[in-house]
Structure 1
Amino acid sequence: MTTFTRPSTPRTPRLWKRFLNRGAPALGALGLAGALLAPAAPGISSAEASVPGLGDERAAEQSAHHTERVPGQAQSAVSATDDAAGDTTAFLFQWTWDSVARACEQTLGPAGYGAVQTSPPQEHITGDQWWVHYQPVSYQLESRLGTRADYAAMVQNCHDAGVEVIADVVINHMAGQESGTGWAGSAFTHYDYPGTYSRADFHDHGCEVQDYTDRWEVQECDLVGLADLDTGADYVQSRLADYLDDLSSLGVDGFRIDAAKHIAAADLEGILSRTDGIAAEDIVQEVIRGAGEPIQPEEYTDLGDVHEFSYARKLKESFGGGRIDWLLSGGGIGEDWDGFIPSEKARSFVENHDTERNGETLTAADGDVHLLAQAFTLGWDYGEPTVFSGYSVDDYDAGPPTDADGRVVDAVCGEGPWTCTHARTEVTGMVGFRDAVGDTPVTDAWTGGEQSLAFGRGEKGFLAINRAPSGLDASWQTSLPAGEYCDVYSGVPTASGCSGETLTVAADGTVSGHVAPTSALALHVDALAGTGSGTGSGDDSTETSRELALHYAADWDAANVHYQVGDGAWTEVPGEAMAPACTGWFHTDISLGEAEEITAAFNDGVGTWDNNGGADYSIGSGTVQVADGTVSEGDPCAGSSDGVPELTLYYAADWDAANVHYQVGDGAWTEVPGEAMTAACTGWYSAEIEMGEAEEITAAFNDGAGTWDNNEGSDYTIGSGVQQVADGTVTAGSPC
């Protein structure tokens, strides 16, 4: 177990200061329309992400009427200048302006979000793909997400709800097409946008970005064929400044600069200096950190905040790999770690629209694990968080749902592909947690093994996370005042108590509780039991129905699982019969509904029971195996065919290469150095091994250059299924 307390870097919400320092901008419907209705430049958010076939790293570089009320929250509006507004941004990706307006009123404002980020609002090329919005053809505020009037009305509606608006703006480049007509009818060719830009306004060097170690190439050449603007030219800078000022005239509070890495920092400074007072606190930039590259996020921090991609990558490595305790090492993930910008300049996130498609980060498809990463991000004190909320995709180019005319349909939580991550109880509860704890330092940090962690935020809040596939029962020392608290990860305070779990903090600050598998509990001083205004009932359309694929290891002739789902009734003894799977394993599928876990015991139907030493087993959703009293993730029969087991083997090493030297059963050994393993996720190698009718292999590992790991002379005994070897220990499941 690890514990520590450390100071926190004060965090000052930036966007609301725009109102205080400069006054709310006029919301005139015309603004600079007269000067800006001519065609303009299309571009891509992470521009290269719009081009199919690129590798993951470069894809990250390149690359829409429903009442969704927050249960138990009052639906009152607050002032846009309220300095109590939170610092969390919801990125409602590809949501129509009407949908964003409703979300601000019904969800974001009541939940305590400080801002909402919209997709690019300008006219764009036509097409079904998501990335058409990142290829502008004019700076008219007309797109398949809505009109200029719709956008202005949305901004006003969000302000009335106390939520500020950040516009995603594409100012590095124009379209990648040779010619065409934009959504609002603007004709263009690749380097000619009549009334906006001519060929002289582009770099037009006849090159494309290939070598990211070449600064000139990255910032002067076309990004995957997108017409690269000469952002150092006076006219171009003035034109782009006019576009930003037009959005400001509608009340837009801040800007996310797409593909900022491809704009020289001096050029971007020149553009912003020509605006009507847009300041650094209004800016967040996409500058993706790449190892060995000359252009790094640090050179842009004087111009505004920067999205810290390293943070999202580490979250996938930890929550995606199953081991989360190391997130608290070295004082905890953040600016003290190599490759992280200072917290006061960082925008943290779990995923964005590019990384959810290229596999670089966790996504909503990761279910409860994804929600845990969101909870950690909102509870931790690094940067200002953005919660991405889009739609589920199984195709890289897939755009949002559209009507017969090509307009994006309004987002409806619980219907269609919309993920509505921003409206999940787990997420809105943690947004409230973040608002309540503010800048309070991290205290009472705790790890109880590789898959669980907890930390406090002084006297304001406490968060415990359990990444394991089995439940966690623990007691923690907190700095909270004594009292009855509502777990905001599972519900909200009501007039009579809590809609979710209620926990008691003792006079000495200790609290004991049960954390379900792959779940969390979160307490804060603004969520005491009985302090709510209603019953806690509300829209539950974002809830997830969970499924369990359960495997049990036994040498019995038959196996049954006797269980209860959540707090429901137990099955009748002996329970549900399990089917034989691969050798030594039985399997069954169980529907959990909205419950997070089952409580279970196993038996052979003739009197032999395994009830975990009298404690029963707590088992979460997903693919889970139970063997020798241990609950772990993974399918032990993965790769088996007709009962013939195979092995997917992972080995952890910091070597340049890895080989596995083995024998299957009592068969012959491979020739030294053995079978070459392939690089998997960071720090891991993998190999597929056919085992025939054998139940295990005997193995040793080496780097091909004389360094061996033979388990201190005993070799490793490894069974079938998905197995990992690290630090001399063999465990089931994939680390990747």
Structure 2
Amino acid sequence: MSFFVLIFTSFLAIALAQKDPHYVDGRTTMVHLFEWKFDDIAKECEDFLGPQGYGGVQVSPINENLIIKDRPWFERYQPMSYKIISRSGNESEFEKMVTRCKKAGVLIYVDTVINHMTQDTEGPAIGTGGTLANPKNFSYPGVPYSLKDFHTPPCQIQASDYPTNATAVRICELNGLHDLNQTKEYVQSKIIQFFNTIIDHGVAGLRIDAAKHMWPQDLKVIYDKTKYLSLKGVGNLPSLRPYIYQEVVDLGGEAVSKYEYTDLASVIEFKYGIILGNMFRGQDKLSRLETFNDSNAWGLLPTNDALVMIDNHDNQRGHGAGGAAILTYKDPKPYKMAIAFMLAHPYGHPRVMSSYAFNDPSQGPPANLDGSIISPEISNDRCTNGWVCEHRWPQIYHMVQFRNLVKNEPVKNWWSDENNQIAFSRGSKGFVAFTVEGDLNQTLQTGLPAGTYCDVITGDVVDGKRRLRQCTGKSVLVDSDGRANITILSKELEGVLALHTQARL
């Protein structure tokens, strides 16, 4: 084998490894616990996420950030240093969380902000760890960074730059955030040091915020010099690269393309939530999803390159991409349907959003008067006191379990009709049906073995009298030929039905 073939093979192996979330125990799905504290995340891993089959948690940025008046959520995206100290907790609490979650079978992924530092401030710039900075002079002693570490002279990204000027998108400031020059070895070294510290604490991967605004060749240098995963984070699996998924907002027609980043690691596919948002709002025909396995036909990334979502912390607030197409917890019925489809269909690596309630798009998480985050309170397995916790909605976590069960099975037995209704099976292990318009009442091929099944959207399998399994919701009888009468009424709170072999009574 030639030297060049060896180099290419090595690069390919690293890139492929960085597209693997490394979930354990057959798990398949990540949840973003947006703005949660480390201690609360650890407890949630033990009490709920681990037992219900979630594979990972994305945590909000962990590094020291600028304290902004009224504590908006976006202050977390204005770094002051790479010290691990934020509203979520300190470095010791972070490390303990990673360890506790890993013991529960749940891996941790950190949202990292390396494109920029802060905006200018009117008064003193103070970080969550007490670090001071002088943003007007590009002085950040907590790293340290100075003017020479930024793209200078500073320029601002204009709306007109996105379709035509890739250089401006990558070297100018995004919303006035001082833009680091990742081409410089010193800047690279500080970012690599930060990544390696996180990895030493046992995380399984990294989200790269604003990757679109950095040169791919600079990110490649940083990724290549980042450590292999610590056994502390992923167990007895040596020589694994961290899972890296990059924020590249590309809906087509822009100077910066998401495909420029797929040789490096995974990319967040923003078109995905827009497509499904339109579908389950009834603005497009569900029948078209029969071709959803063909990513080229939809302008989507190849399935192994993509992290997918229905919404995230940005676009549920009208930022990022998608606009009115994006479904959120505020539209619960179509939102649950879109998430159910995401978790039932094999495309991409799914991430579930877990929110707090908000009216003002800038509003931070539930907090005390001193700015400290209030822990979610749990009542009847649901969050209260301002936390939404979509990941605890049974229609969502039951579909996480569905995906875990059917993950290697192909889409089969596709059915659709003119009433915006569809159904399909995942091999012989699972079956789902959806209706956006009117009642669904059809005899359909489920692909499942004969028996009575619990619809996991409307109920749980529980032990009944004489230890017989019962369903607290709707039950469906599957005949010996795999066919069943499938009924979903439009008046029901969910327009979806789901069956799988572990829910056979």
TM normalised by structure 2 equals 0.86
- 2:49 pairs, out of 108, 111, 116, with 108
What is the Cα deviation at residue 15 of structure 1?
8.0
Contact 1:237 1:274 in 2 (8 A): no
Q: Which amino acid aligns with 2:259?
A: E
Query: How do 1:120-269 and structure 2 match up within 5 A?
Result: 120-127=61-68, 128-178=71-121, 180-190=125-135, 191-194=138-141, 195-210=143-158, 211-212=161-162, 213-269=164-220
- How big is each residue's C-alpha offset from its partner over 1:123-175, in whole Å with a ceiling of 9 and x where there is no partner? 11113101000111011111112121221111111101101100000010000
Measured in 2, the distance between the counterparts of 1:481 and 1:166 equals 38
- How big is each residue's C-alpha offset from its partner over 1:620-648, in whole Å with a ceiling of 9 and x where there is no partner? xxxxxxxxxxxxxxxxxxxxxxxxxxxxx
Q: Structure 1: which 5+ runs fail to align? A: 1-12, 20-80, 530-736
Does structure 1 residue 315 correspond to structure 2 residue 284?
A: no
- 2:29 pairs, out of 88, 105, 108, with 88
Contact 1:462 1:523 in 2 (8 A): yes
Query: How do 1:526-605 and structure 2 match up within 5 A?
Result: 526-529=502-505
- 1:349 pairs, out of 284, 293, 309, with 309
Where does residue 7 of structure 2 map in the other structure? none
Q: Which amino acid aligns with 1:526?
A: Q
Measured in 1, the distance between the counterparts of 2:272 and 2:21 equals 27
Contact 1:328 1:445 in 2 (8 A): no
1:422 counterpart SS class:
helix
Percent of counterpart pairs with the same letter? 37
Where does residue 461 of structure 1 map in the other structure? 430
Structure showing greater radius of gyration is 1
- How big is each residue's C-alpha offset from its partner over 1:438-462, in whole Å with a ceiling of 9 and x where there is no partner? 1211001111323211111111110
1:523 counterpart SS class:
strand
Does structure 1 residue 340 correspond to structure 2 residue 300?
A: yes
Where does residue 60 of structure 1 map in the other structure? none
Q: Which amino acid aligns with 1:450?
A: N
Measured in 2, the distance between the counterparts of 1:334 and 1:130 equals 37
- 2:496 pairs, out of 498, 520, 525, with 520
Q: Which amino acid aligns with 1:265?
A: P
Where does residue 445 of structure 2 map in the other structure? 477
Larger relative contact order, structure 1 or 2 (CA cutoff 8 Å, min sep 6): 2
Measured in 2, the distance between the counterparts of 1:118 and 1:15 equals 18
Measured in 1, the distance between the counterparts of 2:376 and 2:37 equals 7
Contact 2:425 2:432 in 1 (8 A): yes
Does structure 1 residue 428 correspond to structure 2 residue 397?
A: yes
Q: Which amino acid aligns with 1:293?
A: E
TM normalised by structure 1 equals 0.60
What is the Cα deviation at residue 333 of structure 1?
5.8
Measured in 2, the distance between the counterparts of 1:165 and 1:139 equals 18
Contact 1:96 1:411 in 2 (8 A): no
Measured in 2, the distance between the counterparts of 1:228 and 1:17 equals 30
Change (3 A) 1:267 1:15: closer
Contact 2:455 2:498 in 1 (8 A): yes
Measured in 2, the distance between the counterparts of 1:336 and 1:527 equals 35
What is the Cα deviation at residue 334 of structure 1?
5.1
Where does residue 334 of structure 2 map in the other structure? 369
- 2:227 pairs, out of 248, 263, 276, with 276
Measured in 2, the distance between the counterparts of 1:464 and 1:490 equals 13
- 1:439 pairs, out of 408, 412, 432, with 408
Change (3 A) 1:440 1:18: closer
Contact 1:92 1:116 in 2 (8 A): yes
2:431 counterpart SS class:
strand
- How big is each residue's C-alpha offset from its partner over 1:650-694, in whole Å with a ceiling of 9 and x where there is no partner? xxxxxxxxxxxxxxxxxxxxxxxxxxxxxxxxxxxxxxxxxxxxx
Contact 1:280 1:305 in 2 (8 A): no
Q: Which amino acid aligns with 2:190?
A: R
Measured in 2, the distance between the counterparts of 1:18 and 1:308 equals 16
Measured in 1, the distance between the counterparts of 2:20 and 2:281 equals 37
- 1:291 pairs, out of 235, 243, 252, with 252
**Higher alpha-carbon deviation: 255-264 or 386-395:** 386-395
Change (3 A) 1:235 1:411: same
Change (3 A) 1:409 1:295: same
Change (3 A) 1:326 1:525: same
1:137 counterpart SS class:
strand
Where does residue 489 of structure 1 map in the other structure? 457
Change (3 A) 1:169 1:419: same
Where does residue 373 of structure 2 map in the other structure? 408
- How big is each residue's C-alpha offset from its partner over 1:107-136, in whole Å with a ceiling of 9 and x where there is no partner? 211121111100001111113101000111
Q: Which runs of 4+ in 1 moved over 4 A?
A: 13-19, 278-281
What is the Cα deviation at residue 522 of structure 1?
0.5
Contact 2:457 2:498 in 1 (8 A): yes
Where does residue 356 of structure 2 map in the other structure? 391
Contact 2:287 2:422 in 1 (8 A): no
**Equivalent residue pairs, number:** 453
What is the Cα deviation at residue 523 of structure 1?
0.8
Measured in 1, the distance between the counterparts of 2:398 and 2:172 equals 45
- How big is each residue's C-alpha offset from its partner over 1:210-257, in whole Å with a ceiling of 9 and x where there is no partner? 111201100011111101001011011110011011111111110000
Measured in 2, the distance between the counterparts of 1:134 and 1:300 equals 22
Contact 2:19 2:305 in 1 (8 A): no
1:275 counterpart SS class:
coil
Contact 1:363 1:370 in 2 (8 A): yes
Give the number of the structure whose residues are more often helix, by fraction. 2
Change (3 A) 1:246 1:281: closer
Measured in 2, the distance between the counterparts of 1:406 and 1:136 equals 18
Q: Which amino acid aligns with 1:198?
A: S
Contact 1:90 1:113 in 2 (8 A): yes
Measured in 1, the distance between the counterparts of 2:412 and 2:451 equals 19
Contact 1:170 1:257 in 2 (8 A): yes
Measured in 2, the distance between the counterparts of 1:327 and 1:115 equals 31
Measured in 2, the distance between the counterparts of 1:236 and 1:383 equals 32
- How big is each residue's C-alpha offset from its partner over 1:69-124, in whole Å with a ceiling of 9 and x where there is no partner? xxxxxxxxxxxx74x33221101111111221122112211121111100001111
- How big is each residue's C-alpha offset from its partner over 1:371-392, in whole Å with a ceiling of 9 and x where there is no partner? 1000000001110111011112
**Higher alpha-carbon deviation: 350-359 or 478-487:** 478-487
Q: Which amino acid aligns with 2:495?
A: S
Does structure 1 residue 328 correspond to structure 2 residue 289?
A: yes
Q: Which amino acid aligns with 2:373?
A: V
- How big is each residue's C-alpha offset from its partner over 1:455-507, in whole Å with a ceiling of 9 and x where there is no partner? 11111110001223x43222111211111211111222222322222211110
What is the Cα deviation at residue 14 of structure 1?
6.6
1:301 counterpart SS class:
coil
Measured in 2, the distance between the counterparts of 1:400 and 1:324 equals 36
What is the Cα deviation at residue 336 of structure 1?
3.3
Change (3 A) 1:276 1:396: same
Change (3 A) 1:381 1:281: farther
**Higher alpha-carbon deviation: 520-529 or 228-237:** 520-529
Where does residue 235 of structure 2 map in the other structure? none
Give the number of the structure whose residues are more often strand, by fraction. 1
Measured in 1, the distance between the counterparts of 2:293 and 2:169 equals 30
Q: Which amino acid aligns with 2:87?
A: R
